[in-house]
Structure 1
Amino acid sequence: MSKLLTVIGGTGTQGLSLINEALKDGKYKIRALTRNTNSSKAKALASKGVEVVQADINDKQSLVRAFEGSHAIYGITDFFEPFGAHGPQKAIEIETAQGINIAKAAAETSTLEHYIWSTLPNAGKATNGKYMIPHFVAKNNVDDYIRSDKSLLAKTTFLWITWYVNNYQYPVFTPIYVKSSKSYIQLSPAASDVPIKSIGSPSANIGKFAYAILNKPDISLPGKTVVAYTEETTTGKLLQDWAEVTGNKASYVQTNLEEFSAIWPGWGLEMGEMMKLWDEVREKSWEAPDGAVTKEDLGLGNEKFVDTKAAYAEMNWAEIL
C-alpha cells in the first residue's frame, strides 16, 4: 500500500514543485492542501489523481483532520501575504502562529514518519541580533518550537531554499529602465560581489530537493538542515545574466539602505536588510549550526537543474518591465 504524502500549499510554487516530482515516481499517494479546492490549479491536480483537500493553517484542528493518515508532510507558510496587509510585526505574529499550528498538527499525526519544514537561516543569531529580518524571524520562531518537541524534531528536516530567480519580477529587484541611456540599472544596498546561492527555477528545482529528502531519511534525519541551491553566483552576475538573456544593457548601482527603503516603503527595508545581511555575512549566510546537508549528499550532484539563465528565459519580461 502506498504511503501518503501531504503537501501544504499544494497549488503554490513550492508545493506544486514537490507534487510534480512525486507524481513522476508514483511511490506516494498525494494529498494537496489548499484554501480553494475549486481553483484551476486545484482542479488540474485532481485530474492527475491528487487528492485535493481544503484546509486552513490558521485552524489547527482543520490541519489535524487534513493530516490524518499522512506518512510525510511538507509544511510551508507565507509571510508576505500578511506583511502586505498588516506590516512586519503583525505578519510575524500571524506566520509564527500558523507555523506552530502546522507543527502541532504534524506532531499529533500518529502515522507521521517525515516532516519537511520550509524555513530560513537564523539571521539574528548569525549577526548577534543586528539583523532581525521579519520574514526570517517568523520562521525561526517556528524552528524553535519544533526543536522544543524532541519527538517531532526526530522526524523533521529543515529545508532552506535559497535565492528565487523570479525575485526579479518584484519591484525592489526589477531592473529599472533609464530612457536617456537606453539601458537598465538595478539599485541595491549590497555590493555587486556579494555571494548568492541560487535555487535557479524554483518551480522546477525545489521539488527535486524535497523529494530527495524524503527518499534519503538516513541523510536528512533527525533534525538535519538541507540547503537547497543549484549554483553559486553573485548579486552582480545575477544582473549580468539577466541582461544577457533579455538582450539589454544593465548596470548595478549600489545605494545605502536608507535610500533604498525610501524608494520602496516597507518592502525596501524588508528586502534591503536581507541584502545587507548577505553583504556582511557573505559565505556564512547559509551556514547551518550543525552543518548542512548538500545536494551531493542527497544524490543530486549530477542532476540537470533549470539554472538561472534558463529560468530568466522562461519569464515573460514584456509583462514585468
Structure 2
Amino acid sequence: MAAAKKIITVIGATGAQGGSVIDHLLRSESQEYNIRAVTRSPDSAAAKALAARGIEIVQAELTDKDLSAEKDASLAADKAAAIETDMGINMANTALATETLYHYFCGGKSQPPHYDYKARATRYIKSKPELLAKTTFVWCAFYASNFAWDFLKPVYFPAIGQYVQMQATPSDQPIACIGNTRSNFGAFVGAALTQPETTRVGQTVFAFVERSTLGGLLKIWTEVHGVKATYVQIPRDTFFATWSAKAQEFTLGMEFWELVKDQEWTGEDRFLTYADLGLDITTLKSVKDSFAELEL
C-alpha cells in the first residue's frame, strides 16, 4: 500500500515566493506532497489558475486566530510579503497547535522597519523549543524585478543619451540577488525540504544566486540592454522627499546591509546558502537573464 502523501500548506500562494514554491513542487519527480494553497482571494484569477493545476485552494487571513487551513499540514510555508508581528505570531501559534506538523518554514522578503516586525515573530518562535525544532527560516535576497519599481528603474535622459539611476545609498553598497524570484526561489525551499536534518532547528536559508553591489547590478542591466547608464547618489533627505514611503523603506534596508556587510544578519553563527544545500545555481535563472526579461 502506497504511503499517504504529506500535505504542504503554502501561505501567500499567489505571490512570487509562494508561487515559486508551488511551481517547484509540481515539477518535483517525487510528487510526495498534496499542495494546499492559502489565499485571501480564492475567486481571483491567480487562485483559479492554481486550482486548474490541481491545487487545493483555501481562503484564510493571516490575522484570523483559527487558521484551520493549516491544521493537519505536515509543512507550513509562510510566504507573506510583509509579515507584521501579530501575523507571524498567529502563524506560529497555529503551527504549534498542529500535531502532525513536520517542517515549518518562516520567511518572506523584508526590509526595515519590517526587519524589526519579523525579528519579533522570530524571537517568539525561538521561545517555543517544540516549534523551533521543526522550523527553517528563509531569507529571500533582492529581486531582479525590483528594477521595475518607479524609484529604482533607470530613467533615460535624451540630453545626455543615457540612463540615470538615482539612489540615496552608494553604488558600492553590497547586495545579494535572487534573480527571477518566481523561477528561482522555490528551488531553495525544495532543497531545504529534502534535508530536514540540516535545515530545521532554526537554521536560516539565504536564497540568492549572485552577490554584487548596487552599481554592479546596474552594470549588468546596461550590458543586457546594450545601453549606457550612470549611478548617481543623491542626499538622503532629497530622495525621501521625492519618493514614497516604499522607497524610504528600501533605503533603510540598504543602509542596514551597509552596516552589517559581511556579518551574519541573523545574529547567529552562519546561514545556509546554495552551496550548503548542494544546489546547482547554473540550473537557475541568472541575474543577467532575469534582467533581460525586464522592459526598458
Which TM-score band (shorter chain)?
over 0.9
| Kept in 2: contact 1:119–1:139 (CA 8 A) | no
| Kept in 2: contact 1:120–1:140 (CA 8 A) | no
* Counterpart for residue 269 of structure 1: 248
Deviates more, 1:305-314 or 1:175-184: 175-184
Provide Cα deviations, 1:203-249, integer angstroms capped at 9, x if missing partner: 01110001111111011011111111111111111111111222321
TM-aligned CA distance change 1:203 to 1:212, over 3 Å: same
TM-aligned CA distance change 1:52 to 1:119, over 3 Å: closer
Identity level (%): 39
* Counterpart for residue 53 of structure 1: 58
Give the counterpart letter for 1:40 in structure 2.
A
CA distance in 1, matches of 2:294, 2:267: 32
* Counterpart for residue 128 of structure 2: 149
The CA deviation at 1:263 is 1.2
The CA deviation at 1:72 is 0.7
CA distance in 1, matches of 2:196, 2:216: 35
* Counterpart for residue 20 of structure 1: 23
Alignment of 1:129-208 (within 5 A): 133-208=112-187
The CA deviation at 1:120 is 6.6
Deviates more, 1:170-179 or 1:280-289: 280-289
Equivalenced residue count is 291
Deviates more, 1:267-276 or 1:105-114: 267-276
Find the partner of 1:3 among 3, 6, 11: 6
* Counterpart for residue 242 of structure 1: 221
Find the partner of 1:31 among 6, 29, 36: 36
| Kept in 2: contact 1:156–1:221 (CA 8 A) | yes
CA distance in 2, matches of 1:142, 1:120: 14
SS class of match (1:115): strand
Provide Cα deviations, 1:25-70, integer angstroms capped at 9, x if missing partner: 2121100001111222211211111111111111021x1x101221
Provide Cα deviations, 1:67-121, integer angstroms capped at 9, x if missing partner: 1221011013333xxxxxxxxxxxxxx8111111111111111110100001578
The CA deviation at 1:302 is 5.2
Alignment of 1:251-262 (within 5 A): 251-262=230-241
CA distance in 2, matches of 1:135, 1:170: 19
* Counterpart for residue 294 of structure 2: 315
* Counterpart for residue 88 of structure 1: none
- Verify: 1:114 aligned to 2:103, yes or no: yes
SS class of match (2:37): strand
Unaligned runs of 5+ in 2: none
* Counterpart for residue 78 of structure 1: 81
The structure whose residues are more often helix, as a share, is: 1
The CA deviation at 1:285 is 6.1
| Kept in 1: contact 2:274–2:281 (CA 8 A) | no
Q: Normalized against structure 2, the TM-score is what?
A: 0.93
The CA deviation at 1:304 is 1.1
| Kept in 2: contact 1:119–1:140 (CA 8 A) | no
The CA deviation at 1:271 is 1.4
CA distance in 1, matches of 2:244, 2:186: 33
SS class of match (1:277): helix
Provide Cα deviations, 1:234-288, integer angstroms capped at 9, x if missing partner: 1111111111222321100112221211111423321112222223332226465
CA distance in 2, matches of 1:9, 1:120: 12
CA distance in 2, matches of 1:285, 1:307: 24
Q: Normalized against structure 1, the TM-score is what?
A: 0.86
CA distance in 2, matches of 1:218, 1:204: 26
| Kept in 2: contact 1:77–1:99 (CA 8 A) | no
SS class of match (1:261): helix
